Amino acid sequence: MTVTESSTATASASTPTTVFSNLRDHPGRPLDRPLTLAVAGAGARGSGYATLAAAGDVPVSVTAVAEPRAPRRADFAERHGVPLDRRYADWRELAAAPRLADTVFITLQDAEHVAAVEAFAARGYDILLEKPMATSVEECDLIAEAAESAGVSLTVCHVMRYAPYTRRLKALLDSGRIGDLISVEHLEPIGYWHYAHSFVRGNWRRQDTSSFLLLTKSCHDIDWLSHITGRPVRAVSSFGSLSHFRPERAPAGAGERCVSCAVERDCPYSALKLYPVGLREGGVKRYFTRIAADELTETAVAEALAEGPYGRCVYACDNDVVDHQQVTIEYAGGVTAALTLTAFTPQENRHTKLFGTHGQITGDGRHIEVYDFVTDERTVIDTDNGGSTAAEGHGGGDAGLIDAFVRAHHRGRPELLLTGARESRDTHRVVFAAEHARRTGTVVRLTPTSDAEEPAQ
């Protein structure tokens, strides 16, 4: 069933109507026009996803944007040709308007996800939702229920599933290349730059304004491990704490801000190092600097470091999320996994070892090494996906996700979507269980959902 709405938020009775489609309406049949999309939140993720969608080989038209920061809203709208009357300062205004697109990217702060999904689903939009789904188990359930009740598709941005590296790794594992999987060792190296930016100075530093670290940073990894193993979780335990980024760990002579600190030159977490005034360096530093300052100019960056949150000393912030954590998971059939996430690493790819009855697979986000117990031979595969960070596209995962989402909704191919509402809800439940285990020092046992199947013993 198609949904018909007026083509603009201020349409009059004489304005022509536009017919929008949902994925459920045309399985196996491509649209005869470009896929239309609206963006709720034009920050780094929303802008990046929209750019990838517009640059693909599937025709896409960005028809509306909601973004509270006027310069970013204007820049986004100009780049994508969004009309003046479809540029909103608040996502609620966009959601309240008549439907303006087939799909919407919801890339807002985590606490706003439930309300946004409920509002856009009620309007009939198919949804791409940034991870994490929400900040509680109950809210994840509400999101899944809202999408299912409205009959819209909902895809969560677990980009790791869509990376070429993951596809190759899972294919090797599913083919029996190392026999039966027994256990997994997985490292999420957050990186000292990224951790200081996002989880000490940035939006995800406090649990009361955002959520806990395992959810905001590594629900990706919990989801990825479930995807790789292909099994439901039986039990989980976890340990971790905030050890370093505390006032008592500040070096002697440290100031409140890096711009006036006597020991700044010797601090690895210096804001002057992370956000270089003058922008002499590109890549990851340029990406982080674009978030810290409204404009990529020397004046704007200097002002942000002197007055904004990203210029504070990492030992003088109001952060409270852990800086290291370990999670142990038992899957159905006895398979186990150990996940380590830590701030104290370089900015690099995740590292994984998969131990099987006939061999071992070692991966670093790009290279996959298969060791065969029968022949004692090592085979190395280079998936060449690019860098691991958000600035570098998460090893091809960002592009893979957006290509799958756009292609699925334009060509009527729902099988391309690997992260639906139910799947993501179930892996988020594991994340919340792990955090409960960390806080209580217990082992939490989970009951598989009715649609999860136990493998044969």
What's the rounded mean pLDDT across residues 171-196? 97
Predicted TM-score (pTM) above 0.85 = yes
Q: What is the pLDDT of residues 341-399, one digit of tens each?
A: 999 999 889 999 999 999 999 999 999 999 999 999 999 999 876 544 444 444 588 99
Q: Is the pLDDT of residue 315 over 80?
A: yes
What is the Cα–Cα distance from 340 to 434, expressed in whole angstroms? 12
Pairing assessment for the beta strands 154-156 and 60-66 based on DSSP bridges: unpaired
Q: Is the pLDDT of residue 452 over 50?
A: no
What is the Cα–Cα distance from 128 to 130, expressed in whole angstroms? 7
Q: What is the pLDDT of residue 284?
A: 60
Dihedral angle over CA of 254, 257, 259, 261, nearest 10: -10
Q: CA distances (Å), 251 to each of 153, 157, 196, 267, 345, in order?
A: 51, 39, 16, 9, 20
Q: What is the pLDDT of residue 347?
A: 86
Peptide bond into 83 cis (omega under 30): no
**What average pLDDT does the structure give for the chain?**
90
Binning pLDDT at 50, 70 and 90, where does residue 19 land? confident
Q: What is the pLDDT of residue 397?
A: 87
Binning pLDDT at 50, 70 and 90, where does residue 55 land? very high
Q: Is the pLDDT of residue 6 over 70?
A: no
| Residue 205 buriedness (CB in 10 A; 0-12 / 13-18 / 19+) | buried
Q: What is the pLDDT of residue 1?
A: 32
- H or E stretch covering 44: helix 44-55
Give the domains, in start order, of the chain with CATH numbers. 3-156 (3.40.50.720), 161-245+319-389+420-445 (3.30.360.10), 247-311 (no CATH)
- Go through the chain and tell me how many residues it has: 457
Q: What is the pLDDT of residue 388?
A: 46
